[in-house]
Amino acid sequence: MMDINKLEKSDLKYNETLKKKIEKLKSKRNAVIIAHNYQRDEIQEIADISGDSLALSQAAVRTDADVIVFCGVKFMAESASILNPDKTVLLPVMEAGCPLADMITPEKLRAKKKEHPAAAVVCYVNSSAAVKAESDIACTSSNAVEVVKSLKEKEVIFVPDKNLGRYVQSQVPEKKIILWDGFCPTHIRVQEEDVLKAKELHKDAEVIAHPECHPSVLALSDHICSTGGMFTYVKQSRSKEFIISTESGMLYKLQKDNPDKKFYLPTQNLVCANMKLITLGWVAHSLENLVYEVKVSDDVREKAKAALDRMLAVTGEKKGAAIAGY
């Protein structure tokens, strides 16, 4: 199978030209490039800040730049715009969506709330601004357990990722979690057999998984955490080899930061097509033409911001997820 993260020689030369163009446009626009850990290698190379969803939300709040070029998927750019309405937030490819976020609508969530009037609503950040506006508090994979524990309500409607919701339930047994039937189409591609085979091939490797993976995969893991948490874990671990159950883009920085350690994916199918839509060419196009601006209407923005602000208050600055670029 073709490795989407590996480039041909001709691409590398072309990319150098694009990188120079991006540098010039960045200073002209007073822009910052923020990239999620699943981005293509060359996008992570040019990013000023990279990290997991929580770290990127925090970075969006702190930046002094006038323009934020968000290399990720739409809900991430939307969160940056909600938290920073005075900045121009650009998503280089408008079609870079999140199928998990599309598995819930505000109308369906309102109906669920009517069924459970006493429950608090926790929405994973992988959701639209309109769904966040219907929720009491947001969470990311790095703080979901902490967020749910912080609530006074005993019942919690957790949307839209059922696997993350199940994982939270296992960590917070004192609450009753009402799950939504959503899932990440990339993470569910890892199967129990893939992990077992990888363990057989790499007997000394530790297994690390993202909580969006199926519970049977999580059960085979030594450690479960967000993408940012993976960097912290690997750095402090004495192990030399790791099986990483999350999107393939993670391997770029894990390998760069830990040249003496080895990383393996349990399956080569761990590629999020939406994350990979962002290329250097589109980033240059975005900066040159100031496209595609992500804006949220004021009424939705205020309510969605309240859910994000509550999350950031629970997490606190010091506890922020691993972040590169600071």
DSSP string, 235-284: HH---SEEEEES-TTHHHHHHHH-TTSEEE-S-TT---TTGGG--HHHHH
Query: How many Å separate Cα 273 from the centre of its chain?
Result: 14
Shortest Cβ 246–ligand 13P spacing (Å): 7
Which residues, in sequence order, are CB contacts of 83 under 8 Å at separation 6+? 57, 60, 61, 305, 308
- Out of 41, 42, 48, 52, the only residue in the binding site for ligand 13P (CB under 6 A) is 52
Shortest Cβ 125–ligand 13P spacing (Å): 7
Closest C-alpha among 103, 33, 79, 51 to residue 249: 51
The answer to whether 63 contacts ligand 13P (rule: CB under 6 A) is no
Element (H, E) at 156: strand 155-159
| Residue nearer to ligand 13P on the CB measure, 119 or 165 | 165
The answer to whether 226 contacts ligand 13P (rule: CB under 6 A) is yes
Which range of residues in 22-30, 140-148, 257-265, 292-300 is near ligand 13P by CB under 6 A? 140-148
- Out of 15, 26, 37, 276, the only residue in the binding site for ligand 13P (CB under 6 A) is 37
| Residue nearer to ligand 13P on the CB measure, 26 or 210 | 210
Tell me the torsion sign for CA atoms 326, 85, 91, 51: positive
Query: How many Å separate Cα 65 from the centre of its chain?
Result: 22
> What mask of x and - would describe binding to ligand 13P in positions 205 to 224, judged by CB under 6 A?
-----x-x------------
Give, in order, the Cα–Cα distances in Å from 160 to each of 77, 80, 138: 18, 20, 11
Do the beta carbons of residue 264 and residue 245 sit within 8 Å? no
| Residue nearer to ligand 13P on the CB measure, 15 or 142 | 142
Shortest Cβ 268–ligand 13P spacing (Å): 17
- Out of 81, 163, 227, 279, the only residue in the binding site for ligand 13P (CB under 6 A) is 227
| Residue nearer to ligand 13P on the CB measure, 126 or 128 | 126
At residue 167, the 3 state secondary structure works out as helix
Shortest Cβ 113–ligand 13P spacing (Å): 24
The answer to whether 143 contacts ligand 13P (rule: CB under 6 A) is no
Shortest Cβ 248–ligand 13P spacing (Å): 12
> What mask of x and - would describe binding to ligand 13P in positions 159 to 198, judged by CB under 6 A?
-------------------------x--------------
Strand partners, 69: 33, 90
Which residues, in sequence order, are CB contacts of 64 under 8 Å at separation 6+? none
Nearest 5 degrees, angle CA 267-CA 271-CA 272?
145
Do the beta carbons of residue 198 and residue 245 sit within 8 Å? no
Task: Report how many residues bind ligand 13P under the rule CB under 6 A.
Answer: 12
The answer to whether 53 contacts ligand 13P (rule: CB under 6 A) is yes
* Interacting residue ranges for ligand 13P, rule: CB under 6 A: 37, 52-53, 126, 140-142, 184, 210, 212, 226-227
